[in-house]
């Protein structure tokens, strides 16, 4: 048990500090769960999804039942990589700061990478 606690503390430290913001919009529960599942299936248990922006910020998302769950590189000419540990940690941070099925986003301090949940038509990743 002590090793598991130490491992979790190490993972938290390696992931770094993060910033979370809630937008307050209630999201469809089934749509949120389905879009999150689509992301988890995309990266798989041991893989990752790499994203690079060009001259503008860039995002990729999954939309289910009016809910958009997205990964964004929020600056030009930048890149990042999202894996299952990142997704789970981002969701944990958002769900701790905001009600679970509420629109919001999360990013590492000083990073251009954002993972978030929003209504389908809400603009995201605008730099």
Q: Quick one: pLDDT at residue 18?
A: 58
Look at residue 125 and tell me if it is in a domain: no
Look at residue 12 and tell me if it is in a domain: no
- Cα–chain center distance at 46: 17
- What residues make up the domain containing 89? 18-119
The tens digit of pLDDT for each residue in 65-94 reads 999 999 999 999 999 999 999 999 999 999
Domain count, the chain: 1
Look at residue 104 and tell me if it is in a domain: yes
Look at residue 3 and tell me if it is in a domain: no
For residue 70, with 0-12 CB atoms within 10 Å meaning exposed, 13-18 middle and 19 or more buried, which class applies? buried
Residues 74, 56: Cα–Cα separation, whole Å: 8
pTM value is: 0.83
Look at residue 37 and tell me if it is in a domain: yes
Look at residue 5 and tell me if it is in a domain: no
Look at residue 48 and tell me if it is in a domain: yes
The tens digit of pLDDT for each residue in 27-47 reads 999 999 999 999 999 999 899
């Amino acid at each position: 048990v002590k090793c598991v606690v130490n491992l979790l503390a190490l993972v938290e430290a390696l992931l770094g500090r993060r910033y979370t913001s809630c937008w307050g919009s209630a999201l469809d529960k089934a749509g949120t769960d389905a879009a999150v599942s689509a992301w988890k299936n995309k990266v798989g248990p041991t893989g990752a999804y790499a994203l690079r922006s060009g001259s503008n910020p860039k995002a990729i998302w999954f939309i289910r039942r009016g809910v958009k769950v997205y990964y964004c590189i929020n600056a030009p000419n930048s890149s990042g990589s999202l894996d299952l540990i990142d997704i789970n940690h981002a969701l944990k941070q958002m769900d701790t700061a905001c009600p679970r099925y509420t629109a919001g986003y999360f990013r590492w301090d000083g990073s251009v990478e954002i993972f978030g949940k929003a209504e389908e038509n809400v603009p995201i990743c605008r730099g």
